Amino acid sequence: MEIEIFPDRPDLLSHETMARAARSFLGGITSPCSLQVKKGMESMVVSPTMESVRPHVFAAIVRGVDQGSSEAQRDRFVQSLMDHQEKLHTTLGRRRRAVSIGVHDLNNIKGPFRVTSDDGSSAFTPLGAEEKMTLVEILESHPKGREYSHLVEPSEGFPLISDSEGRVISFPPVINGVATTVTTGTTDFLIDVTGWDRRACIAAMRLIALSLSERGGVIESVEVTQYDGSTWSIDMEPVQHLVPTTLVSMILGEDPGHEAVGSSISRMGGNLVGRENMGSTAGGSRWDGEHEDVPGYLIEMPSWRFDILHPVDVVEDIAIGIGLDQLPAQDSEMNLPGSPLEGASMERRIRQSIRALGVHEVQTLTLTSEARDFEAVRLDSGGAVTRIRNPITREHGILRQSVLPSLLSVLAANRHHELPHRIFELGAIVIDHHNSTSVAWACAERNAGFTSAKGYALSLLRDLGSSESEIVLSEGAPGYGPWLAGRVAVVKIRGREIGSFGEIDPSISSVFGLRVPVHAGEFDVHALTELLPDPLA
């Protein structure tokens, strides 16, 4: 069975939590909003030096987990537990940057536990290795170390979790130690969560604990002394939300009533406590847009429901619990006339003009690389470059400042097709961290040259309402940009530069794998809009 989970429901990412939600939603079996937590005797102390390393640290214990009756069932449990961790790392954890989770066999370690920042010289045997490695060696040569080394800043220190006897438990957010490996015989678990996002860390801790408790485990608190001296222990108590009946009516079309709301919210794992006026002090979150005398529903939702941030989210759960097909049909009470966006008229006119030349429009990614946007076409940045913090690939590390390199890449990808290839794009660029719009064309054909490019440029400008007396063409600087020396023109209208056009230098074409003549051009749409306003507007 394959089930798709939307990103806003991380509480459904394990078999156990999915089964818990399904029991109440499909089976009519009410699941309590809270879980009992046994006060434990273990503790964890976080060093003050962790403030600049990974400031939020949490821990809990779950004892007596039933892995299953057969070896196959136990194997599947261990695999599903690891899968659950990685799913939370990817979603809540932002690939371990915001949250990292460690699950350990408690029987092989002894508290109290310590969390410190190390200089990198401490050594232990990490998962997947047979010999001890220092923390520096793990980052340099271990597969997981190389994958997550960008999350550790050596100058600030290496985070390290150890037990009372000095055994290393974990090197978050990179890897755990072999000594605490979870096996098919593990029944008692220590969970540690570290990171930079406190709310997401606590949510991840509760979700792992909930998953293990669904297998018969008993959740036990660990008193964690944070870097600032404050203490934290896990709790699984529900969060109250005070939702005005007027908000329910506004979103759903009508107030379903006390019984229907109670039934629907129960299906979603919550509990309707009763009705309170909005002036009541009850409720952990509330809708501030109503008078104090307006009645509201006091609803409890599980604390592990990370997606519920506001009473509106509770109303969404009410709608899902009732069934979207059961909600009343309601026509919109608003009838607003449409109006074109600013700049839409100019973009329409540009498209009409270039299409009339037999050029096909394409749409490419705004994400690109410095190698393609600057180096490959001999251009310098026109301002500050907007970079992606965690790019998926090297080719998507920045937001482009020019459209033309993307068009040359499209021509390169289609070079095995019959000529001619004539394409253009009217798309977004980002310079100095501000959005702008640019239009560019690129044509690969046997007779492509400067004369063809000039014809395209003047035809476009004439269609936009510019007179030939306003247009000034000057020769572009040789060796700058993708242009062939002597066959490039810079275009100015009433003294303002709007772009350039010309013949692509064969040395640039060869970088993109093109062996045919190419003429091209690129204009600043914002400048065109200011210089050539729509005469019909």
List per-residue pLDDT tens for the chain, 537 residues long. Answer: 888 888 889 999 999 999 999 999 998 888 899 999 999 999 999 999 999 999 999 999 999 999 999 999 999 999 999 999 999 999 999 999 999 999 999 998 998 999 999 999 999 999 989 999 999 999 999 999 999 999 999 999 999 999 999 999 999 999 999 999 999 999 999 999 999 999 999 999 999 999 999 999 999 999 999 999 999 999 999 999 999 998 998 888 888 999 999 999 999 999 999 988 876 655 555 555 556 678 889 999 999 999 998 899 999 999 999 998 888 887 777 777 877 777 788 999 999 999 999 999 999 999 999 999 999 999 999 899 999 988 888 889 999 999 999 999 999 999 999 999 999 999 999 999 999 999 999 999 988 899 999 999 999 999 999 988 899 999 988 888 999 999 999 999 999 999 999 999 999 999 999 999 999 999 999 999 999 987 766
> Same domain, yes or no, for 383 and 516?
yes
Assess if residue 16 is contained within a domain: no
Distances (CA, A) of 459 to 264, 352, 441, 446, 536: 63, 11, 13, 21, 19
* 142: Cα within 13 Å, side-chain hemisphere: 25
445 close to 420: Cβ distance less than 8 angstroms:
yes
Rounded to whole angstroms, the Cα distance separating 305 from 15 reads 16
Tell me which amino acid residue 471 is: I
23 close to 30: Cβ distance less than 8 angstroms:
no
3-state secondary structure of 426: strand
What's the domain count of the chain?
3
Cβ-in-10-Å burial (0-12, 13-18, 19+) of 291 comes to: exposed
Q: What is the pLDDT of residue 285?
A: 58
Cβ-in-10-Å burial (0-12, 13-18, 19+) of 142 comes to: buried
Assess if residue 446 is contained within a domain: yes
- CATH number of the domain enclosing 469: 3.30.930.10
Q: What is the pLDDT of residue 286?
A: 58
Cβ-in-10-Å burial (0-12, 13-18, 19+) of 311 comes to: buried
Assess if residue 77 is contained within a domain: yes
> How far from chain centre, in Å, is Cα 33?
29
> Same domain, yes or no, for 180 and 263?
no
Residue after which a domain boundary falls, among 189, 216, 232: 232
Determine if residue 453 is left, alpha or beta; phi over 0 gives left, psi from -120 to 50 gives alpha, anything else beta: alpha
> Same domain, yes or no, for 393 and 284?
no
191 close to 209: Cβ distance less than 8 angstroms:
yes
Which tokens sit at 477? 């600087």
> Same domain, yes or no, for 109 and 189?
yes
> Same domain, yes or no, for 397 and 475?
yes
Q: What is the pTM of this model?
A: 0.66
> Same domain, yes or no, for 69 and 205?
yes
> Same domain, yes or no, for 145 and 120?
yes
- CATH number of the domain enclosing 286: 3.30.56.10
Residue 293's CB is within 10 A of a number of other CB atoms, namely: 8
> Same domain, yes or no, for 197 and 248?
no
Q: What angle do CA 213, 218, 224 make, to 5 degrees?
A: 100
Q: Running DSSP on this structure, what letter comes out for residue 126?
A: B
Residue after which a domain boundary falls, among 207, 232, 257: 232
Assess if residue 29 is contained within a domain: no
Assess if residue 7 is contained within a domain: no
Q: What is the pLDDT of residue 31?
A: 87
Helix ranges (H only) for 389-517 are 404-413, 450-463, 506-511
> Same domain, yes or no, for 376 and 406?
yes
> Same domain, yes or no, for 403 and 263?
no
- CATH number of the domain enclosing 90: 3.50.40.10
Whether the ω angle into residue 10 lies within 30 degrees of 0, i.e. cis, is no
Rounded to whole angstroms, the Cα distance separating 53 from 50 reads 5
Assess if residue 23 is contained within a domain: no
> Same domain, yes or no, for 83 and 138?
yes
Domain holding 272, by residue range, is 239-326
Give long-range contacts, CB 8 A cutoff, 24+ apart: 320-328. 320/264, 320/268, 321/25, 321/263, 321/264, 321/265, 321/266, 321/267, 321/268, 322/252, 322/256, 322/260, 322/264, 327/252, 327/253, 328/252, 328/253, 328/254
Assess if residue 19 is contained within a domain: no
Assess if residue 481 is contained within a domain: yes
> Same domain, yes or no, for 301 and 368?
no
Residue after which a domain boundary falls, among 197, 232, 267: 232
Rounded to whole angstroms, the Cα distance separating 139 from 47 reads 22
